[in-house]
Amino acid sequence: MKHLIFLLAFLNLSLVSFAQTGSSLICRFGFTFEISRQKNWGYAKPVILTVSPNTSAAAQGLQVNDIVDAVNGKPTEGEDYETIFSWLQNSANDQISLNISNLKNSNRSLILTKYCSFNNALTEKDLAEVYAFYSLEDTQNRAFACPFKTTVNRNVNLLNYKSFGFPKPNAQNLQLENLMNAVIRKSLEQKGLKYSDRNPDVLVQTYYSHRKNPNYRSNANADKFPTESRYNMNTHSMENLPIYYNLLIHSNQAEFFLTLGIRVVDPKRQDNNGLVWECEANELLKSYYSLDDYSTFHIPLMFMQYPYPQSTEEAKFFYGRSRYNYTGIYFNMDNLKEIISVDPSSPAAQAGIQSGDVIEKINGVKFNNNPKSADSNYKQFIYKTMSFRNPKTQFTNAEGFTRCMYWDKLSHAQIYDAFRRPEFSTAFSYLFYFEPYINLSGTNIVSFNIVRGKQKEEIKVKPVIVEEAVFESR
């Protein structure tokens, strides 16, 4: 299963993972980093890029854009990626100490605990992502970009700015500017800056325009043009917007133009008119979309570029959501039927499932151990059940597949029947067994038929539903 192999390779590279010496374990701390080359933020030090949910790193409060000043007491400035990685890899025990700085804290100490698994083990989270089309309602990955041009003054250190304020708003647009300032204030306070109306370190200015396109030409096929789907940080969901951001769409097909810019200015600096940071959005609108609504939705996205933008020409984002049944079983990647390990105290362990057990069936569905045929059967399942999906929910996933759709709520009986068809080998649908289109009974109890030595046994497990969500700039 190429999808499966690629996913595992990505996971092993992305979460500061390493093979523990003399064993077949892969251990991770749950974050990724790069060495900053941006003089305004953490120059020549590691900067955190991602933090994985449900890890020690997340629990201890490690955040994206944190600057790592030291690892186990060793200063990081000037060290290369390989050296920092080796310090993490060669940690003497299961814990590491990081000293981090951000807009709120300076040189704060965090103790992180690594987590380990066999290097050929597949977690249920891994499998939920591989078999996402069993339930896109629960597990999906999306990517999108915004036309945010970001400018940073390379001669400043953004760590030096701790407070912010606003200039006097324009009386003619008082309501709009007050709304924008409220959204900006919330965004910056979440990052650790403090609002001050007396001698703040920086002032935050806005500029904007919303105008009708004088060259607009209506098109009978406009409803077929692709519009933007973006993540709303206020509602924590993806939403379709009346925005065109596609190279194939000409500007004369947009009915309106919208511009929104945010400047962070240090009034005490003489260079660049005091400019510290600026982010400007220029959008083509399919139809009317007010500056109020655009600001509420997009200002939080724009401030994800502060203080450490991944790109200065456009902003790229990734959204991942996962909701699946956790039993605590780890599957052998080289022999999927074999349970390579079981988390202690997990639902599977409490039910009596052990490492070394071999699976014959899950919920009465015969287990397919052949990777090629399993991959083929999964693709056939997607193709032959497409008619049971709701086209009004169509979206494109992060891999570029355009025909992602939720199940049609009126077709649950037919979908249930499809999951029971042996030619589709849907044993891993147990990961979403709490959904009515997979389990009409509504009782989320998973049955494993296993072989242990010469004995056969049916073991019922009451799983725990795990939910994770990630939204990050890339």
Domain ranges of the chain: 2-119, 124-140+324-473, 148-313
Q: Are 336 and 367 in contact (CB under 8 A)?
A: yes
- Span 140-186, pLDDT tens digits: 999 999 999 999 999 999 999 999 999 999 999 999 999 999 999 99
Q: What is the mean pLDDT of the chain?
A: 92
- What is the pTM assigned to this prediction? 0.90
Give 118's pLDDT tier (boundaries 50, 70, 90): confident
Nearest to 317 by CA among 202, 232, 382, 377: 232
What is the pLDDT at residue 334?
A: 87
Q: What is the mean pLDDT of residues 454-474?
A: 96
- Residue range 148-313 in CATH 3.30.450.40: no
Q: What is the mean pLDDT of residues 252-281?
A: 96
- Percentage of the chain beyond pLDDT 70 is 95
Instruction: Give the list of residues 6+ apart from residue 136 with CB closer than 8 angstroms, or none.
Output: 404, 405, 406, 407
| Three-state SS letters, 290-353 | CHHHHHHHHHHHHHHHCCCCCCCCCEEEEEEEEEEEECCEEEECCEEEEEEEECCCCHHHHHCC
Superfamily of domain 124-140+324-473: PDZ domain (2.30.42.10)
Residues 443, 456: Cα–Cα separation, whole Å: 24
Provide the CB-side half-sphere exposure for 170 (13 A, CA). 10
Nearest to 428 by CA among 356, 383, 365: 365
Q: Are 419 and 433 in contact (CB under 8 A)?
A: no
What is the pLDDT at residue 10?
A: 35
Tokens of 420: 């029971």
Tokens of 468: 């994770």
Query: Which helix (H) or strand (E) segment is 389 a member of?
Result: none
Measured CA to CA in angstroms, residue 438 lies from 51, 176, 335, 416, 421 at distances of 32, 48, 25, 5, 12
What is the pLDDT at residue 270?
A: 87
What is the pLDDT at residue 20?
A: 52
Query: Beta-carbon neighbour count of residue 85 at 10 Å?
Result: 17
**Fold match, 2-119 / 148-313:** no
Query: Beta-carbon neighbour count of residue 26 at 10 Å?
Result: 20
Residues 331, 114: Cα–Cα separation, whole Å: 21
| CATH number, span 2-119 | 2.30.42.10
Q: Which residues pair with 335 in a beta bridge?
A: 332
- Span 25-61, pLDDT tens digits: 788 889 999 999 999 999 999 999 999 988 899 999 9
Place of tokens 């059940």: 385
What is the pLDDT at residue 6?
A: 37
What is the pLDDT at residue 267?
A: 94
What's 215's DSSP letter? T
Q: What is the mean pLDDT of residues 326-330?
A: 97
